[in-house]
Amino acid sequence: MSTATKSRVARRMQGVHGEAAFETLARANELERQGRSIIHLEIGEPDFDTPAPIVNAGIDWLRKGATHYPPSPGVVELREAIARHLSSTRNVDVDPKCVIVSPGAKMMIFTIIHSLIDPGDEVIYPVPAYPAYEAAILMAGGTPVPVTLQESREFRFDLAEVEQRITPRTKMIITNSPQNPTGGVLTIDDLKGLGDLARRNDLFIMSDEIYAEICYGQKPASMLDVPNLSDRLIFIHGFSKTYAMTGWRLGYGVVPKDIFPAVSLFINNSVSSTATFTQRAAVEAFTPQTDEVVARMVEEFQKRRDVFVDGLNSIPGIRCLRPHGAFYLFPNISALGKPSKEVADRLLNEGGVSALPGTAFGAQGEGYLRFSFANSLSNIEQAIERIRKFVHSL
């Protein structure tokens, strides 16, 4: 048999990129090992501890023997708690039977795309964006169709452009609000407009709202608030960001009833299920006590956001919007006249600040950097001075 046409790595892996944050973090850590002082503003995880009631419940459940396989779609008590929580915070009545748990929201994104997208199907998604959307679409053999989020629109979708991109092959629109990496937040009118497009063109909407609670000022509108969408809406959320639980690996989806069996089958055949004691512990997330801890964390994020935005805007050559949600800044550095990747690399090596180039979120991120402000106020203040000195030296 000829091996000439055989590729050792599956062809569908071609063009697939991973999350640059992990790679940049490794480089920054290596510099630290060599004795350099680095301020970490690359990785997207809260620098807070998981709220104590959740940690204590996790330990209790381990002692109580919650160490066996749980049901594939998730522990019933957690699915019910999620449904109650969403029904009380959004304009919708969520059926626990439509809730499905996964080890991280990223796995739910992968699961949904693999359960719904056939080779050749087109998926519209925002760019710059969380890289897992494009990667999952490519791995499923689908065709990614990016729609650029413009700074001039505060990084919100241009609905006319979304509409133009719809073809007979389009199967899904992905939305993410509050957004990674820009911090942009879609309005209820944006969401309703997208809902109309989905209904008129018979499309699914996958709405990733993992930063829903990390917002400044008005609470962001949710796709769950849009009426008459339950037959085509896939809602994605998780515990990583809101409850500082990135390492617990816990996310979930709410899916239309008719696709639930396929989604559950995918989980069954891939990861089997999600760790039992983490699911049990997460029930404690939906209590007034935990809400209080989250509110304090968000207050702290807001202080950091304001100091960081003002600091960056005081540096000639940098222009930065004040995001309404998430914990990222996406400053425009095009006036520096250098590619984002070069600026990010040199800022790390020469300036001691670890950030991501905007291009880590798609080519449309050229001319931007992404900073996470999940770091202390004093480190952020120090980072501003390092960035100022670095920019001056260019």
Ligand X SMILES: Cc1ncc(COP(=O)(O)O)c(C=O)c1O
Q: Given candidates 46, 142, 193, 251, which one binds ligand X under the rule CB under 6 A?
A: 251
Q: Which of residues 130-159 bind ligand X (CB under 6 A)?
A: 130
Considering only 42, 151, 190, 208, the residue that binds ligand X (CB under 6 A) is: 208
Residues 290-294: contacts with CB under 8 Å, at least 24 apart: 290/51, 290/53, 290/54, 290/243, 293/51, 293/52, 294/51, 294/213, 294/242, 294/243
Q: Quick check: 176 binds ligand X (CB under 6 A)? A: yes
Site for ligand X in 26-55 (CB under 6 A): 44
The residue within the footprint of ligand X, chosen from 100, 210, 226, 234 (CB under 6 A), is: 210
CB of 82 to ligand X, least distance (A): 14
Surface-to-core class of residue 89, CB atoms within 10 Å of its CB (0-12 exposed, 13-18 middle, 19+ buried) = middle
Among 70, 73, 104, 253, binds ligand X (CB under 6 A): 104
Q: Which is nearer to ligand X, 184 or 351 (CB)?
A: 184
Site map (CB under 6 A) of ligand X, residues 329-368, x = contact = ----------------------------------------
* Number of CB atoms found within 10 A of residue 317's CB: 15
Nearer CB in complex with ligand X: 232/370? 370
Q: Does residue number 174 form part of the binding site for ligand X (CB under 6 A)?
A: no
CB of 201 to ligand X, least distance (A): 24
Q: Least distance (Å) from ligand X to the CB of residue 93?
A: 25
| Among 182, 230, 240, 290, interactor with ligand X by CB under 6 A | 240
Among 106, 192, 232, 305, binds ligand X (CB under 6 A): 106
Selection from 111, 128, 212, 121 nearest residue 167 by Cα: 121
Q: Which residues contact 34 (CB under 8 A, 6 or more apart)?
A: none
**61 or 211: whose CB is closer to ligand X?**
211
Residue number with CB closer to ligand X (130 or 277): 130
Comparing CB distances to ligand X, the nearer of 364 and 390 is: 364
The distance of closest approach from Cβ of residue 257 to ligand X in the complex, given in angstroms and rounded to an integer, is 24
The separation between the first and the last C-alpha atoms of the chain, rounded to the nearest angstrom, is 57
Residue 170 corresponds to which tokens in the numbers above?
């389009």
Which residues are paired to 325 by β-bridges?
215
Name the residues that contact ligand X, by CB under 6 A: 44, 104-106, 130, 176, 180, 208, 210, 238, 240, 246, 251
